[in-house]
A and B are shown apart, each in its own frame.
Chain A
Amino acid sequence: MSKKNSKILFIVILALTFLSIVATSYRYLVIRDYEVYDDTEEELLEEVDELE
């Protein structure tokens, strides 16, 4: 009985993991809902400072 329950538990966690992966890919790959910070200039200035 406990083995059967464990099996159900694994199926539930696998299903949730699958849904979570789908949601993550939908957010970042499909609707591209994320913040972008352009720090290229800051990095360049830092490199210049280091060189000086």
Chain B
Amino acid sequence: MENIRCAFDAPTYLIISEEVTALIYYSHFIAIFAALSISLLVFFHNPKLLVSRLFLVFASVLSTWIFLDVILWSTNDPGIVMFSWSMQVLLEPMLYAIAFYLFYAFLYGDIPSFWTNVFVTIILLPLIILLPTNLNVDTVYLSFCETDEGPLALYYTYFLNICFILLTIYSGLKGIKLFDSQKKKAATYFVVGLIIFMLSFTVANIISSLTDNWDISQYGLFGMPIFAALIAYSIVQFSMFRIQMAGAQFLVVTLLALVTSLLFVKSELQRPVTIITIVFTAIVGFFLMRSVKKEFTQKLELENLTERLKKANERLRELDQMKSEFVSIASHQLRSPLTSIRGYASMLLEGTYGRLSEKATQAITRISESSQYMAASVEDYLNVSRIEAGNMKYELIDFNLKDEASHVSDDKRQEAIKKALLLSFKSDMDTHGIVNADIGKTRQILHNLINNALKYTPRGTVTVFAHDDKKKKLMHVDIIDSGIGMKPDELEDIFGKFERAHNANETNVTITGRGLFVARKMARAMGGDVTAHSDGVGHGSTFRLTLPLQM
């Protein structure tokens, strides 16, 4: 039996034969090159990813199947035909099984459940066990070196293919609701790739099997590079891989494969093969050029924008520094005359320069109040410039915050009474309320917050409520007012440098919006915070000073 050979010449190196048309080499080797190069590219991009590994396994099995096909076209040895044919029968359903696992891993990042694996094992077992028997392939016919396919190869493999296709569709449909739009898009590429694979691979094989014309099956392999490219695209797209780079590398490999395959082309096939080569290269080249051009334009725009942004940022910094310096100088120069005005007004009111008429007393009182307000504003401006310049100094000591909050409330009570508001102090403490902070700055924060509450409350109450959170080791002082309130989206804006509540004009207040900015900056510098809460316009506000509690 060893000397019996089919009715044509033996190939050299197992695959190179005069009997085989160039188109077979062309279709097969492109598919092998494309599948292996793309899968290796994806694998080396992220070797730890399950889907990358499975894609490499898939491409390797697919390449083996294709290579066996070239052997079958070339060999005249019946033994090699029987073996290669059997291996193809085994590898085809295996490919569908791996495609299912690949799809599953791609969607869920894991392998299917144990019972699915048991099912896959059970349906694969007959194929594996019966592979070396006559149920698979039988007698070799010497005229074309073909075999008779048994029920295993003819029917069971198609049953397996259908099972794996259904499993793939089921696993895709099961999870479709869970995916976001990006994953759905990537999954669509994957499914389209899989459909092209099934159409090109299986349909061509089925038609060949039915018509007994195996020349048709080789055309199916032209779908392989598209399939491999689509699957690779969906994998890399989801992993945020730079597809342009993958495209450039793929183009180089494809061109290499195309040029190599042209070596096998003979005169009668030269024209269609060359046309296919040009069309394929043109399509890949067009998409590659388009994406590279797009990327290049985006890069240029980005560089341009970065440069402009850098310049604008530098200019802004300069302006901010100039403004801080100006505010600092102006504030210092304002402070001295203000001190004089306040001093002389105070002396006039005390009667140092003689008794004043009632009208004069009223006028001097106004001067005194306005200069006090102005002095407070100047102090705030100075604080802002100190904070921005990083010159604010804090002297941290242990003191009782509850007592300080109570004292500041007492100080502010007269002001509240003048506005016909009820300012009260409450406390609910489990601890002594000792905090480690700068006592002067803390008092200033409380003043600012209570001032704010009094100014934004036309009528009703302002409550200062001291309480602690032993678990979190925090001490809170809430300033709760029944004032104009705020919209939820304003709650963070009001801590800006010159921000005030959008409906501030309703209360006719004369503040510039530095108080909260300064209060929050100071509190944060001492390890605490100032936060705001409001149930909406007309529902009052709560400002909270939080400082770390000393246990």
Contacts and interface: CB of A to CB of B under 8 A. Distances in A.
The answer to whether A and B interact is yes
Contacts of B111: 3, 6
A52 interface: no
B252 interface: no
A13 B142 contact: no
B441 to A, nearest CB: 59
Contact of B82 (A10, A34, A39): A34
B540 interface: no
A39 B78 contact: no
Contacts of B140: 34-37
Contacts of B139: 34-37
B143 A9 contact: no
A39 B142 contact: yes
Nearest to B113: A2
Interface string A28-41: 11001011111110
B90 A20 contact: yes
Contacts, number: 85
A17 B90 contact: yes
B83 A24 contact: yes
A32 B86 contact: no
Interface residues of A, number: 29
A6 B87 CA distance: 25
B130 to A, nearest CB: 9
A16 B142 contact: no
B79 A13 contact: no
A24 B80 CA distance: 11
Contacts of A24: 83, 86-87, 131-132
Nearest to A30: B79
Given A12-B121, A13-B121, A43 B132 contact: no
B521 to A, nearest CB: 54
A2 B138 CA distance: 40
B124 interface: yes
B128 interface: yes
A5 B114 contact: yes
B125 A40 contact: no
A42 interface: yes
B129 interface: yes
A39 to B, nearest CB: 5
Contacts of A16: 125, 128-129
Contact of B1 (A36, A37, A42): A36
Interface in B291-317: none
B141 interface: yes
B143 A42 contact: yes
Nearest to B115: A2
B7 interface: yes
B263 interface: no
B397 interface: no
B240 interface: no
A1 B327 CA distance: 70
A40 B7 contact: yes
B79 A40 contact: no
Contacts of A5: 114
B2 interface: yes
Contacts of B138: 34-35
Contacts of A34: 1, 78-79, 82, 138-140
Contacts of B275: none
Contacts of B121: 9, 12-13
A27 B287 CA distance: 50
8 contacts: A13-B121, A21-B87, A23-B132, A28-B132, A34-B1, A34-B140, A36-B139, A37-B140
Given A6-B114, A24-B83, 10 more contacts: A5-B114, A9-B117, A16-B125, A24-B87, A29-B80, A29-B83, A34-B82, A38-B142, A42-B143, A43-B7
Interface of A: 2-3, 5-6, 9-10, 12-13, 16-17, 20-21, 23-29, 32, 34-40, 42-43
Q: Which 10 A-B pairs have the closest CB atoms?
A: A2-B114, A28-B82, A43-B143, A35-B139, A28-B83, A24-B132, A23-B132, A20-B131, A6-B117, A40-B7
